[in-house]
Amino acid sequence: MNLIEFISQPWHWSVTGLGIALVAFLLVYAGERFGLSSSFEAFCIIGGAGKKVPYFKRDWKEKAWLIVFAVGSAIGGYIGVTLLQSPEPVRIAADSVQSLTALGVHLPLSKAEGLGYIPVDLFNFSNLLTVKGFILMIVGGFLIGFGTRYADGCTSGHSISGIANLQPSSMVATIGFFIGGLITTHLLFPFIFSL
């Protein structure tokens, strides 16, 4: 097994967690912070939202690094599914497979059916105008953009950087994130997937 084949296998959670901590460190060492929902603000500021909305009337140069980081993330994602593509699609616990199958979600069994990152038969352009697709993609996206600004951070800024920096506010926000995620998964999904 050569080096590329070795790192192309799915990574263990400890290696992944260590890698995220390294990225957080590198961003702070580079003079910024590990807080990625600010990228949405950056796009709004650069898009000229400050002309109409005072909240976005800020210097775009302070946030420009987030756009560069976002482009880098996309390139890294591309490398991850091409040069470093896993030999098998993402595999999750059998209990989850069963619950999702009961909801009618198809899990890819081979790479021909997808790599197991997004559910391709739910997230696609022809589903955008179905009620289910609209909720999962458009409403879901909207809530991410709205909620992260309202809570002033997301998983990277609050759940990882904030908690690691022992900030009580980040612990409260993270509890909120989980309450929301559990409501969607356990209360809303049975309804949404019946539509």
Partner 1 sequence: MKYLRFLFIGILFGIIMTKGEVVSWFRMQEMFRFDGFHMYGVIGTAVIVTAIWIFLVKKFNARSIDNTPLKFKIMSLQWTRLLLGGIIFGLGWAMTGACPGPLYVLAGHGHLIILVVIAAALLGTLTYGVLRDKLPH
Residues 6+ away with beta carbon under 8 Å from 102 = none
C-beta of 82: minimal distance to partner 1 in Å? 9
Rounded Cα gap, residues 95 and 74, in angstroms? 31
| CA distances, 164 to each of 58, 64, 121, 160, 192 (Å) | 29, 25, 37, 6, 35
Where is 39: in which H helix or E strand? helix 38-46
Interface mask (CB under 8 A) for partner 1, residues 38-67, using x and -?
A: -xxx-xx--x-x---x-xx-------xxx-
C-beta of 42: minimal distance to partner 1 in Å? 10
Positions in 123-182 near partner 1 (CB under 8 A): 123-125, 128, 135-170, 172-182
C-beta of 132: minimal distance to partner 1 in Å? 10
Interface mask (CB under 8 A) for partner 1, residues 89-128, using x and -?
A: -x-xxxxx--xx------x-------xxxxxx--xxx--x
